[in-house]
Amino acid sequence: MTSTAAASVVGQPVSRVDGPLKVAGGATYAAEFDPGPGLCHGAIVTSTVASGRIASIDTAAAEAAPGVVAVLTHRNAPVLPYHEHKGLTDPPEGERIHLLQDDRVRHQGQPVALAVAETLEEAVYAASLVRVSYRPESAVTAFSDAVAHAVPPGPRYRDRGLEGDGGRGDADAALGAAPVRIEAEYVMPRLNHNPIEPHGTVARWSEGELTLWDKTQWVDNVRAEMAAVFGLPPDRVRVVSPFVGGAFGSGLRPWANVTLAAMASRHVDRPVKVVLTRRQMFGITGYRPRSTHRVALGADRDGQLLAIRHEGVSETSTYETYAEEQLGSSEYLYACRDVATRYRVAPRNVQTPNDMRGPGKVTGVHALECAMDELAAALDMDPVELRLRNDTIVDQSTGVPFSSRSLRECYQAAGERFGWSRRNPRPGAMRDERGRLVGYGCASATWPAMRQAAEARARLLPDGSAVVSSSSSDMGPGTYTSMTQVAAETLGLPLERVRFELGDTRMPTAPVHGGSWTMASLGSAVQAACAEARRRALAEIGRADADLAAVLRQIGEPVEATVRTEPGDELRRYSAHSFGAVFAEVAVDPDLCTVRVPRLVGAYGVGRVVNPKTARSQITGGMVMGMGMALTERTEVDPRDARPVNSSLADYLVPVNADVGELDAVFVDEEDPHVNPLGVKGLGEIGTVGVAAAICNAVYHATGRRVRELPVTVERVLGAAVR
C-alpha cells in the first residue's frame, strides 16, 4: 500500500456511498424495474384453511373482470419440474410447497390462485372474485398441541452440527447438588421480520431466458431455485437485486412471489410483477418461530455456575423442518462443568419459519440471560458480577480457545457509560423525577463469527479508477460502502475513484448476505482481488512502488483480476464469536404499568470495525428490534385455525420514533489475528441479542415482577409494581 491517505480509509466513518442516490429517491428497488412493454400485475389469492384440499375453485367471474389477462390455479397452471434444490438457507428436512401444482393446502395464506391483469387494481379486484371452497382436514393449529408432538431436528440437521441434545458432564446431578438453584420457563412469541419494503418480483422471459428483478439477500440462490423449479440450466436465469429495502433474513429464501411471477410471465408471455401485500408478508414469508424455553441453573454461594440445563422447543411447519441453534450459547457463553441442552421442533399447520436477525441466539440468549438475572437475585449478587465470575477464555463446549473475547471489557465499558454503579440493588427502590419506578438491567450478547467462500472481481481502468464487483447484497448494513473502503485501501486509490457493484448473478459469486459474515467473507475476497489486480498492473511495468493511477494510465487498457477466497482451518482451531454487553434502563408508571425505555447502552467486541458510522447504525437498529421484541412485537396466531390475526403494521407493533429513548453503542478495541484476513467478526445480528433480556431484567428491578412471557405488556406488569 503506497498511498497513506487511501490506506487509512478502513476504520473511518465514511458516509454511505449510495446515500445521495437513496435520498434523491433514485435507488431502484425490485418492484420498480421497468422490464419493457407489456408489464402486467399479479395479485395472489390465498388459502383460508390450515390444512385440506381445494374442493372447487371458480374463476369465471374473475376472468370476466375488466383488464384481466389470466387467472392461474392448480387446474390450469403449467406443470413444473420442481427438481430437488436445497440452498444453504432452505431447511434441509422436508420439501417446499410446489405452487399451484395440486389441490393440497398446508397452511393459512398459502397461494391458491394468481389473478393477472393490466393494472394492479384490476388484478386485486379479479383476485377478490375467485371463489374457493375447501375440504378441510385435521390440522395442528395451537402451539401447545404442536409441542405435545415435538421431535428432534432430524438427521440432516445433525449433519450440519445441530443436535437435539447436547452438553457435557451430568447436569442433573450437578443441579441436585448445587447449593443455589433457580428454574423458570420463558415464552417468546412468533416475530415477523417486517422489512419496510415488501417482497416483490418482476419477471420477464425472453427467448427461453428468465430475468428476475427480485428483493433478495442472495441472487445466486434465487437463480438456483428458479432453475430447479422450471427445469432450466442456471445460465438461462438471471437475477438482479441492486437495492433491498430491509430484510433481516426475510430475503434469505425466495418466496411465492418469485415463482408465481415467473410462472405467470411465461403463461401470458408478458412481463409480470407480483408484490406481496403487507398482510401476505405475514402468511407467505417466514418468521422467527414461537418458542418455549425452560432453564435451570445451579451455582455455589460465590456465584460459580455448577450446572446449566436449557430446554427449548420452537414451531415449524408440517412440510419442512425449520430448526435453529437456540441453545448453543448456553454451552459456550459461560464456564460451567455440567451442561445439558435439549432442543425440539413442534410441527404445526403453518408456513415454515426462517432465519430472522440473530436466529436462535436471540431466542436462546434471552432465556439464558433472564435466568442469569434470576440466579443473581437468588444469590443476592450483582448481575454484572455474576457474569464476570463465570467468564472464560476457553469455549468449554469444544475445548478450544476463543479467537478473541472481550465480554469483560464490554461489561466494563457499557457499565461505565450507563452508570451501573448508581443502581440500588433492591427492586423498586429507584424512582425518576416523575415518580416512575426505575429499573436497571443487563444481559450478555453473542453471535458466532463465521466465514464463507466468496469471489470478487477487480477491474482497473485506464483513467485510474476501479470497478469491483460481486453478486452480494446490501439490505441496509452498507455493503456498498464497506467494500468500497476495503477496495480503495487495498488498491491505494481514493475512495471516489472506486465503485463497488453487487446484486447480479452475472457477477462473481458471493455467499448469501446474512449470518453477519458478509464483511468477513466478501471483504476478504475483495481485498484479495484488489491486491492481485494491483500486483498485475504494477508487474506490467515492472515496478512495485509506483502510483497505481499513473500506472493504469500508462498501461492504457483495463487490468482485471477475479479471486475466490475461502476460510482455512482457523475456525476449527479457534472458537470465534462476537460478544457484547447491553444495559437497559426502564421507567414503569406505577399506576398504568406502562414500560418505557429511556436508555439502552451496549458495548461490543467485534474485532476490527471497518466503518464506525454504518456499524453504529447497525447496532442501534438491532437494539431497537430487540426493544420491539421486549415490549411490543408479537405475531398472534389464532389457536383455532392457525391464522395470523394481527397481520398489519397497525396491529404488529414495530417500535416508532417516539417509543425510542437514548441509544448508545460502542465498540471496544479488539484485535483478532485469527478469525480472517480483515480481522472482522461481524456485527449485523449481535445488536438484537440480549436486549429483550436486559429490558425484562430491568422491569424486574423496577417492579419486582418477573415477566417471563414476551412481550412485556401492561397487563403482564399490572399489579406488580412495588408501591
Partner 1 sequence: MRVTMTVNGHRMDADDVWEGESLLYVLRERLGLAGSKNACEQGECGSCTVFLDEVTVCACLVAAGQAHGRSVRTVEGLAEAGADGAPGLSDVQEAFVAAGAVQCGFCTPGLLVQTEDLLRRTVAAGAGAPSDAEIREALAGNLCRCTGYEAVIEAVRLAAEWTERGRPAGGPARGEAR
Question: What residues make contact with partner 1 under the rule CB under 8 A?
Answer: 12-16, 18-20, 22-29, 31-32, 119-122, 194-198, 243-248, 275, 277-278, 475-478, 495, 612-614, 616-618, 620-625, 648-650, 654, 656-658, 660, 663
Residue whose CB is less far from partner 1, 508 or 644? 644
Structure-block grid coordinates of residue 367: 432465556
As a whole number of angstroms, the distance between CA 35 and CA 37 comes to 7
Q: CA 530, CA 538: separation in Å to the nearest integer?
A: 12
Instruction: Report the phi/psi class of residue 160: left, alpha or beta, with left for phi > 0 and alpha for psi in -120 to 50.
Output: alpha
Answer for the pair 42, 116: CB distance below 8 angstroms, yes or no. yes
Q: Which is nearer to partner 1, 279 or 536 (CB)?
A: 279
Cell of residue 268, nine digits: 401470458
AA letter at 484: T
Could you tell me the smallest distance in angstroms from the CB atom of residue 514 to partner 1? 14
**Closest CB to partner 1 among residues 22, 553:** 22
User: What does DSSP assign to residue 235?
Assistant: G
Cβ at position 111, least distance to partner 1 in Å? 18
Residue 250 beta carbon to partner 1: minimum distance, rounded to whole angstroms: 10
Least Cβ distance, residue 355 to partner 1 (angstroms): 16
**For cell 401470458, what's the residue?**
268
CA distance linking residue 471 with residue 509, whole number of Å: 5
Q: Nearer Cβ to partner 1, position 91 or 478? A: 478
We find the least distance from the C-beta atom of residue 22 to partner 1, in angstroms, to be 3
> Minimal distance in Å, beta carbon 20 to partner 1?
6
Sequence-distant (6+) residues with CB within 8 A of 20 are: none
Nearer residue to partner 1 within complex by CB, 347 or 478: 478
- Segment holding 379, helix H or strand E: helix 361-379
Among residues 2, 14, 1, 25, the alpha carbon closest in space to that of 614 is found at 14
Give the C-alpha distances (Å, rounded to integers) separating 334 from 535, 580, 594: 46, 13, 33
Residues 6+ apart with CB under 8 A from 623: 582, 600, 602, 663, 665, 687, 688, 691
How many CB atoms are closer than 10 A to CB 84? Answer: 8
Tell me which residues are annotated as active site: 685
- Residue closer to partner 1 by CB (options 304, 620) is 620
Q: For residue 186, what are the β-bridge partners?
A: 293
Report in angstroms how near the CB of residue 498 gets to partner 1 at its nearest.
Answer: 13
Q: Which is nearer to partner 1, 195 or 492 (CB)?
A: 195
Given the complex with partner 1, which of 245 and 298 has the nearer CB atom?
245
Q: State in angstroms the smallest separation of the CB of 477 from partner 1.
A: 7
All cell numbers assigned to 532: 492481485
Q: Which three three-digit cell numbers place residue 487?
A: 477496495
How is 109-163 classified by DSSP, letter by letter?
Answer: T-EEEEEEESSHHHHHHHHHH-EEEEEE-----SHHHHHHT-B---HHHHHTT--
Does the N-terminal peptide bond of residue 711 adopt cis geometry, omega within 30 degrees of 0? yes
C-alpha cell at 427: 427492586
- CB-wise, 558 or 661, nearer to partner 1? 661
Nearest-angstrom CA–CA distance, 100 and 214: 20
**Which C-beta is closer to partner 1: that of 312 or that of 684?**
684
Tell me how far, at minimum, the Cβ of 488 lies from partner 1, in Å. 11
CA–CA distance, 523 with 631 (Å, rounded to integer): 36
- Name the β-bridge partners of 442: 583
| Closer of 356 and 702 to partner 1 (Cβ) | 356
| Nearest-approach distance from CB 213 to partner 1, in angstroms | 12
C-beta of residue 504 within 8 angstroms of C-beta of residue 495? no
Residues belonging to the chain? 723
- Shortest Å, Cβ 193 to partner 1: 8
Residues 90, 254: Cα–Cα separation, whole Å: 9
| b/e code 156-167 from CB counts within 10 Å (16+ = b) | ebeeeebbbebb
Contact 578, 660 (CB under 8 A): no
- Of the pair 197, 338, the CB lying nearest partner 1 is at 197
Residue 257 grid cell: 412471489
497 by DSSP, 3-state: which? helix
Closest by Cα among 199, 210, 197, 43 to 128: 43
- 3 by Cβ neighbours in 10 Å (0-12 / 13-18 / 19+) ranks as middle
Q: SS3 of 66, please?
A: coil
User: Closest separation between CB of residue 688 and partner 1, Å?
Assistant: 10
Q: For 188, how many CA atoms within 13 A lie in the half-sphere containing its CB?
A: 31
Rounded distance, CA 591 to CA 204, Å? 59
CA–CA dist 517, 637 (Å, integer)? 33
